[in-house]
Each structure stands twice: as C-alpha cells, then as structure tokens.
Chains A and B, each alone.
Chain A
C-alpha cells in the first residue's frame, strides 16, 4: 500500500521491520527524526529491542560494536560531526568484520557549521572499510535499509546507507512499505558465526603484528571486492519479492550510444533526471546512477562509459587542495580505456546549496564549449568573497 511518509519515518519503520535487537543512537540534525521514530516504535511496543540512548556518537558506534559482537542484530544512525566523532569506531567495526548497519543522513561538515546536505561526512570515512550505498529517493532508502542487513550479515561487513539530509530525510514522498511477513521471509534471523559466547569463548580484537597485519588488510579488501555479488543478489532477491530494484551497483538511464554521460549519487540523480526531461539535450546523454560507492564498481563504470566522449561527474563533496573525490575515482576507473572520455568534475550542492534544474543546460553548454577546467565548484558567487580570496 502506498503511504505518504517522511523519509526518516519510512526508514525507521523499515529498520523496525528488520527486527534489530539493539539500536543505539545519539541525536544530530538531520538524523534525529530516524531515531525519534524508532524510539516511538519502541515506546509503543511495536518494536521489541534494546534501545540504548547514549551520551555521544562515539558511544553509539561502540555500543553497536559490542552488541553486534555478542550476536545481536544492531543498528545506528548519524550525520556529519557525529559520523566524524564515530570515525575511530567505524574503522574498528569494519576491521572486526561486524555486520552493523548505519544510516548516514548526509550533511556538510563544520567549519563553518552547516546542517544542510552534502556528502562530506560519508566521504570522510570512505576508507573505513564499510560498504557504502547511496539512495536516490526515499523508496530506495526503505528498500536499501532492509537489503543492508541482508548484505551486512551475509558478508560480515558493516553497511552504511547514505541518504541526503533534509532532501530525503525530511521530505514526504509516497512510499510503498513492505509487508512484515515479506521482510521476515527475505531476512532470516541473524546467526553470527563469531559471537561472544561463554560456551565457545573467542578473543575478538587481538593485537596483530607486522607478520599478520598485511594479510588482515588483504582479507578485508578482498571481502569488500567480493561483496558486490551479495549486493547484487540482495537487490535481485528483493526485486523478485517486491518488483522493486534499487539498481545494484549502478544503473544507466538513457540511450546506449550516448556521447555524454553524467555520473552522480544520491538525490542529485533525481534532480538531473528531472532536468534532463525538462531540458532535453541536443547531444545524446545518459545518466549513470551510482548506488554503491564502496566497493567502488570501477569495471561497471568503464563499461557504462564505453563510447562516451565526455563524462560529467557531479558530486557533493570536495577534497580541498586536490579537487573532487568521486571525480578522481571515476578518472582512475576510466584510465587506459581505448577511447578515454574527457572527465569534467563539478562539486555541486555543497552545504545544502540548491541545485536548480537550469544548472543542467548551463552545464551541458559549458561541456560542449570545453571551457571548464577539469574540476570546479559550481555556482560560486565570487562577489560574496573578499577580493583576495576569489
């Protein structure tokens, strides 16, 4: 049944349907509505779980680390500064290979303090060893949240579900909520193989010296690379049950023989999709909707870009002093192609800056003129800055 739901509320209900045994969280805008909704579900007896309202994001991540190690299905959510405060624990959860699921309500990182959306927070923990999946709309956020538990528990890798703060978390959409029976069928109870159990004691988190550390890192990297199979299977099985696919690793929309491709993640996908229909381009253009950022689907991106002359990367984060982040990774993926496309990197929508539909034709004109430098931040209003900082 279709319901009009706020993104956070829908995600909270989806998470509750996965029957988490332990939820720990600390409030931060724009993640708050998710944990508020989960707290209400617990208070109303609709979700039976241990809800641990901790004193910091650092402890939120630590609590789910502990509960997951003890074999309980565990969930947390955060944003921005919260993700950064968790950083040390996030690396640790991944290194311990614990199947935690976290929703990142993507938000800019301070300073200057800004509560609105971009992807700087999840990009900052790009190398933590988590699977990172981006949602384009709230239906995807619901479906991906459920898939995330399945992926995490099958791969013993933590999964970060990224959804744009405010743009998705605080927006009402018509959403099809799945049936509880269907979710139960899709997601069996967790039976974690390495849980802390006095009947079969294990030591988790031991000291590993130079003689084994390289192997541990290799095994982690290999597990992430291999997890693509499970990400695809989880999406395919979900599609078989519900008729809805979230698009596996990435999806390509538009003509196959397009000469221009635009790659983006999160809600920007929907903005560009809309813009492309409002401002049809003279040149054939395809939209590559990147869903899985980690593991990074380099081969799939190459395949999607075959025949393209120009590839436009729109991303909501930057690496100051270097340029783009996603853009650099796309460039690396396309290196050595027979007819290597020109990659145009643009940072857009930083700190909640609106991305109007008119951006699209302007962007296409610039690409056609080939005037833009390889990386630029779009829509910088230089007159707002002192002359020496322009």
Chain B
C-alpha cells in the first residue's frame, strides 16, 4: 500500500543580506582591512569582477597586499601571489611562462601601486612589456607611498604635500612633475595601454575586459583616491576622483600600439582649484600669497595642456563622457 508522505513544509523565505543579493562574482571579498573610502580596494574589486575567476593575480608589496592578507585570512577568491615590492611584473612574467608551458589559457593580472610601478618596479615592468608577456598590469595610482605613511613617489603631482615633500618657507610641496608613465608605457608599443578612474566603474570594467581579450601585454592606470593620503573625507573619494578627470589633471585615455585611441571627453571642464581645495595635500596652495597663486596657475596650466594634448574637450553631451551614464550620483551632481 502506498503511503502518501505529507509534503514537507515550505521553508520560510530567508532574508538575504545585501551582500548575498549581490549578483556579481567577487574575486576580492568584503571584510578586508582597507580604510573607509579606499579607492584602491574598490578599484581592485571592480577589476576582479570584470576579469572573472579564471585568472592568477600577482601583487606588489603595498596597501593592497597588506589589507587583504593578514595571515591566516585572505580576501582573495582567485589564486594570488605576493613576492616583493618591485617584482610584481616579473613574477607575473613567470606565472605566464608557466601557464604557456602547461598549455593553459588562464590570464595573469599583475597589480601594484604607483610606488611599485612608477618607481621601484619600473624596470621589471618595462622588461615584461618588452618581452610581450600575456599579462594585464594594473597600477592603482594613489600618487604617493601610502602604505609607509604618505611619502612622495614619481607619481605624486607637482606641488602636492607628502611627508617627504612638505611645504615650508623654501618649498611648495613636491618640486617635480608627475611622471608621465602612460606615455612611457605606450612607447613600448604594446597593444593596449589605458588610464581610467575608480570614479567611472563602467569605464574601468570595460577597459579590463578589453585588455584581457588582447593576447599580449596590456596596461591599465587606475586613478584611486586615498582619503588618508590626500586628506579628504572618506565619503568623497568618488567625487574627488571624478573631479580629477573633469579638470583635466588625470586624463582618461586609451593608447593602442602607442597611438591615441579613445578618450573620455570632458563635458564641462572644471577649474583645477575645485579639485585641489577638497584635499589637504593641496591646502598650502590656497594661502594668500604669490607662491600659492603661482603653483595653482601652474597646475591649471598642466590640466589645460592635458585637455589640448588629448583633445579631451567634448562637443555636446555624450553618454560616455565625464557626466554621462557612468557617473555615480549621490544627492545629485556635485556643484
């Protein structure tokens, strides 16, 4: 005789946390120890979302390595290798060579900050590009050595205050210019080199996907605000990153085999001062003296030069320009 089993009571619908409702795959998990408002942490998460799980990440010494892997914990869901400060590109070359030797298609992404890329890791990076390794190198550019406590790097903008470029009677912050790394990278004639900003997440994701589709070395410079190092409120990282692009100081461009490909047009260029005044690292530029005025003008001229050089001025509204659909708005546009 068949016994009819009573139907199991339906499980009550479980309340999913916002994180569990997150539909995207996450290569870099939440719960790491980055500061509030960390541009680099968000940028790394976005890079990994776009890249998907079939990758190996190599990581230079720096904030990203420190805040994601305090033993015995790790925030990485992808295979991850950290060796030293200056060899992220070289160990990535090795991982890629191993993949090639084994006939695997897994893509390698090398990561580093601006210190590990513009300065100490520059030689290894140049070698990796010259040898045409199939690696995407991502530089999270927060424009100083933040992990050691905000010292100037080759990427620190002119006149910015850091602990090793303090303003004083004889100095107005960093004396030298920000190294034009992207041009140097492009001079290797690699298939694809681009800049992007954490403030334009769709642009960032698109560039990661495009770079990963290319067989050969590719390079992405990601402008990543650092509330601690730049001296701004943690809630304003995205706004400040956007202002850097909108004023022309950080041009968002694509270079293919050394030639200018696409740029992100600026719908309405903002004065550099709008960007500078939100950050403590430029506070000395707003003193009421001629030196401050001179440096502000200097920085404005640099931004204008970028706008001319890369033809950044948009002609009319464009969904892909600085005020387009990619703009994250919270409480309306910043005015």
Residues of A within 8 A of B (CB): 21-22, 24, 49-50, 52-56, 58-59, 62-72, 74, 88-89, 92, 96, 196-198, 201-209, 212
Contacts and interface: CB of A to CB of B under 8 A. Distances in A.
A71 B127 contact: no
Contact of B124 (A58, A92, A201): A58
Interface string B33-61: 00000000000000000000111101100
Interface string B260-295: 000000000000000000000000000000000000
6 contacts: A52-B93, A54-B90, A55-B126, A63-B91, A198-B53, A198-B54
Contacts of B95: 66-67, 69-70, 196
B30 interface: no
Contacts of A92: 83-84
Majority secondary structure, A binding face: mixed
Contacts, number: 157
Nearest to B107: A198
Contacts of B97: 22, 24, 50, 52, 63, 66-67, 72
Given A24-B94, A56-B123, A67-B94, A203 B74 contact: yes
B329 interface: no
B98 A66 contact: yes
Given A54-B127, A59-B87, A66-B91, A204 B81 contact: yes
Given A49-B101, A201-B79, A58 B87 contact: yes
Nearest to A71: B98
Interface in B78-108: 78-84, 86-87, 90-102, 106
Contacts of B71: 206-209, 212
Given A89-B83, A92-B83, A204-B82, 11 more contacts: A24-B94, A66-B92, A66-B94, A66-B98, A74-B98, A196-B56, A202-B79, A205-B59, A205-B81, A209-B70, A212-B72
Given A62-B124, A196-B56, A198-B54, A206 B94 contact: no
B76 A201 contact: yes
Contact of B101 (A50, A54, A96): A50
A56 B89 CA distance: 13
Q: Among the interface residues B56, B90, B131, which one has the most CB atoms of the partner chain A within 10 A?
A: B90
B83 A197 contact: no
B283 to A, nearest CB: 33
A63 B94 contact: yes
B77 interface: yes
Contacts of A201: 76-80
A203 B94 contact: no
CB-CB nearest 3 A-B residue pairs: A66-B94, A62-B90, A66-B91
Contacts of B74: 203, 206
A211 to B, nearest CB: 8
Contact of B91 (A53, A69, A207): A69
B66 interface: yes
A204 B82 CA distance: 6
B65 interface: yes
Contact of B80 (A21, A72, A203): A203
B87 A89 contact: yes
A58 B69 contact: no
A359 B76 CA distance: 61
B130 interface: yes
A197 B53 CA distance: 10
Contact of B76 (A21, A22, A203): A203
Contacts of A63: 90-91, 93-94, 97
A214 to B, nearest CB: 13
Given A52-B97, A56-B127, A62 B83 contact: yes
Contacts of A69: 81, 91, 94-95
A63 B94 CA distance: 4
A66 B58 contact: yes
B94 A70 contact: yes
Contacts of A62: 83-84, 87, 90-91, 93-94, 124
Contacts of B55: 198
Contacts of B98: 21-22, 50, 66-68, 70-72, 74
Contacts of A55: 123-124, 126-127, 130
B82 A206 contact: yes
A52 to B, nearest CB: 5
